[in-house]
């Protein structure tokens, strides 16, 4: 006999305006089991869990908790029933501290005042559980996106819920953190907590799941055991199999001009004397651990952050420091890591978000070709299969993966010749990943150059012509051809970590 479900979405439907995005789906969440939701970007996974979390209410069907019909009017109603949710888009308040965010909505009080000491201890205990050692008085907005994700996880865990929903919790995490998170999930499972897990990393499903519900286009496709082969999962999810995961081709045989040359780049905080160059037709991977300085290098080149020393040349011409406009005009495109904070205007339509850089580049000459721009936006949206009602839909109401594709689309439309990609396939489904790789190939085949930061080693290995490994703010080595293995990259990536760790321990000691 199996247990009764904690929660059931029973034949639910959901529409936004005229568009029905969930069409009669049933999902059960059992105690001590991990129910995986699988589907392409825009299939409806987040919408389903938002119904469990009280963010959205179904238009049809029922929600049952312990077999009783309930109405989850808001997130408080769902939390009160013991349901904790880690949303795909982070819900933290950047201007508040780590401790305040973790205890939000339930500050401990003493004599009518917020008991800061208890609050800090609660937060510390929550962070300890996932092995994250950061200062709880730090402002969340100053943390990198992976750390923010971990704070969000700690916050949900500290609710001691009987059901935990995890919407792509691992997208921004590295191997070590994922291992720590999965250990927590094991622990919760053994204590009878029911979980819902969403991920585009298919290899995680067998490792953590019990059962998988596959969705396509808002409809239920199948429920299969979590140890179903990845090929079969892909077939159920996208309706076809995917031949080649990393379709790197080298079709460019024009002159190997140096498009990007970075010399002695140093920033105030982190990067120290970084030099490299990239030729037409090349994809160069920037590998390294979280905090190694990869994101900062791209941001400095793109004019987002200032640097104190060094130069950046594009096609032999020096770029002025900290000028995003100048970088765009020189043909530099930048897909940032944190699309919400640095990439998209969520309230603006897809069309404007895709056209933004083109407008910035052409504004000077006074030639804004709106109709042409709309056509180009539609073309690239089709190519990337961005799932939307039309180009006028606000980008904030696209699914997470489709927002990511929109940021990418912007720089395709701009015809950037030097593309700086920071985790370009994060949160993107397996089919769309291949579309993004194909576009990277098309760019290099046309004589462009790509620099790609990615924490997914198979992707770096599969798509790069050369790999630069960063550690502790500088380039610790370069690998190409037969030298490229995951082990070789990791060796270079941890080279300076030991030293950093010692420094950190010193700092903490002064706290």
Interaction of residue 448 with ligand ATP, rule CB under 6 A? no
Task: Select 46 or 228, whichever has its Cβ closest to Mg ion.
Answer: 46
Q: Which of 5, 54, 303, 400 binds Mg ion (CB under 5 A)?
A: 400
In 146-243, at which residue ranges do the beta strands (DSSP E only) sit? 163-167, 194-198, 211-216, 219-225
Q: Which of 266, 397, 415, 466 binds ligand ATP (CB under 6 A)?
A: 397
Q: Which of 5, 44, 303, 448 binds ligand ATP (CB under 6 A)?
A: 44
CB of 478 to Mg ion, least distance (A): 37
Quick one: DSSP state of residue 368? -
Q: Using CA atoms, how far apart are residues 446 and 261, in angstroms rounded to an integer?
A: 19
Contact 380, 413 (CB under 8 A): yes
User: Helix, strand, or coil here: 446?
Assistant: coil
Q: Using CA atoms, how far apart are residues 257 and 447, in angstroms rounded to an integer?
A: 9
CB of 140 to ligand ATP, least distance (A): 22
CB of 217 to ligand ATP, least distance (A): 9
Contact 91, 165 (CB under 8 A): no
Q: Which stretch binds Mg ion (CB under 5 A): 82-90, 143-151, 270-278, 293-301?
A: 82-90
Contact 196, 29 (CB under 8 A): yes
Q: Which residues ranging from 365 to 394 are in contact with ligand ATP (CB under 6 A)?
A: 387
Task: Select 399 or 441, whichever has its Cβ closest to Mg ion.
Answer: 399
Burial class (CB in 10 A: 0-12, 13-18, 19+), 479: buried
Q: Which stretch binds ligand ATP (CB under 6 A): 34-42, 101-109, 224-232, 326-334?
A: 34-42
Contact 417, 331 (CB under 8 A): yes
Task: Select 401 or 473, whichever has its Cβ closest to ligand ATP.
Answer: 401
CB of 222 to Mg ion, least distance (A): 19
Which pair of structure tokens corresponds to residue 19? 């568009």
Report in angstroms the alpha-carbon separations of 105 from 108, 159, 164.
Answer: 10, 11, 18
CB of 59 to ligand ATP, least distance (A): 13
Task: Select 21 or 123, whichever has its Cβ closest to Mg ion.
Answer: 21
Helix axes 350-362, 400-413, angle to 10 degrees: 30
Q: Which stretch binds Mg ion (CB under 5 A): 27-35, 199-207, 384-392, 395-403?
A: 395-403
Interaction of residue 404 with Mg ion, rule CB under 5 A? no
- Residues near ligand ATP (CB under 6 A) are 16, 21, 39, 41-47, 88, 387, 397-402, 429
């Amino acid at each position: 006999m199996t247990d009764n479900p904690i929660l059931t979405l029973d034949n639910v439907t959901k529409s936004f305006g005229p568009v029905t995005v969930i069409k009669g789906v049933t999902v059960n969440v059992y105690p001590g089991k991990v129910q995986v939701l699988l589907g392409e970007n825009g299939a409806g996974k987040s919408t389903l869990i938002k119904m469990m979390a009280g963010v959205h209410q179904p238009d049809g069907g029922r929600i049952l908790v312990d077999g009783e019909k309930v109405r989850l009017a808001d997130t408080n109603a769902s939390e009160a029933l013991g349901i904790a949710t880690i949303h795909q888009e982070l819900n933290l308040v950047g201007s508040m501290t780590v401790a305040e965010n973790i205890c939000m909505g339930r500050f401990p009080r003493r004599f009518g005042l917020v008991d800061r000491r208890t609050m800090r201890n609660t937060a510390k205990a929550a962070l300890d559980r996932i092995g994250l050692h950061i200062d709880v008085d730090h402002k969340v907005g100053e943390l990198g996106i992976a750390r923010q994700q971990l704070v969000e996880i700690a916050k949900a865990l500290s609710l001691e819920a009987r059901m935990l929903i995890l919407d792509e919790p691992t997208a921004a995490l590295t191997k070590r953190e994922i291992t720590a998170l999965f250990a927590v999930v094991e622990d919760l499972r053994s204590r009878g907590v029911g979980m819902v897990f969403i991920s585009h990393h298919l290899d995680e499903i067998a490792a953590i799941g019990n059962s998988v519900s596959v969705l396509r286009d808002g409809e239920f496709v199948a429920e299969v055991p979590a140890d179903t082969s990845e090929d079969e999962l892909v077939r159920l999810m996208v309706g076809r199999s995917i031949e080649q995961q990393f379709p790197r081709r080298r079709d460019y045989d024009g002159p190997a001009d140096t498009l990007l040359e970075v010399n002695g780049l140093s920033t105030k905080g982190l990067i120290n004397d970084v030099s490299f160059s990239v030729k037409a037709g090349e994809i160069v991977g920037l590998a390294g651990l979280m905090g190694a300085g990869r994101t900062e290098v791209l941001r400095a080149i793109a004019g987002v952050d200032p640097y104190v020393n060094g130069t950046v040349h594009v096609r032999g011409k020096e770029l002025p420091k900290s000028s995003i406009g100048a970088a765009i005009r020189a043909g530099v495109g930048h897909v940032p890591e944190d699309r919400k904070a640095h990439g998209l205007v969520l309230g603006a339509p897809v069309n404007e978000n895709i056209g933004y850089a083109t407008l910035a580049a052409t504004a000077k000459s006074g030639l804004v070709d709106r109709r042409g721009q709309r056509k180009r936006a539609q073309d690239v949206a089709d190519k990337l299969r961005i799932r939307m009602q039309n180009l006028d839909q606000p980008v904030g109401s696209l699914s997470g993966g489709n927002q990511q594709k929109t940021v990418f689309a912007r720089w395709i439309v701009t015809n950037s010749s030097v593309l700086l990609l920071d985790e370009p396939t994060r949160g993107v489904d397996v089919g769309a990943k291949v579309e993004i790789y194909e576009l990277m190939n098309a760019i290099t085949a046309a004589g462009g150059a790509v620099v790609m930061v990615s924490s997914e080693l198979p992707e770096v290995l599969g798509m790069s012509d050369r790999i630069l490994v960063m550690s502790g703010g500088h380039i610790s080595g370069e690998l190409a051809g037969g030298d490229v293995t995951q082990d070789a990259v990791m060796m270079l990536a941890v080279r300076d970590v030991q030293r950093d760790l010692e420094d950190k321990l010193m700092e903490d000691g002064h706290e």
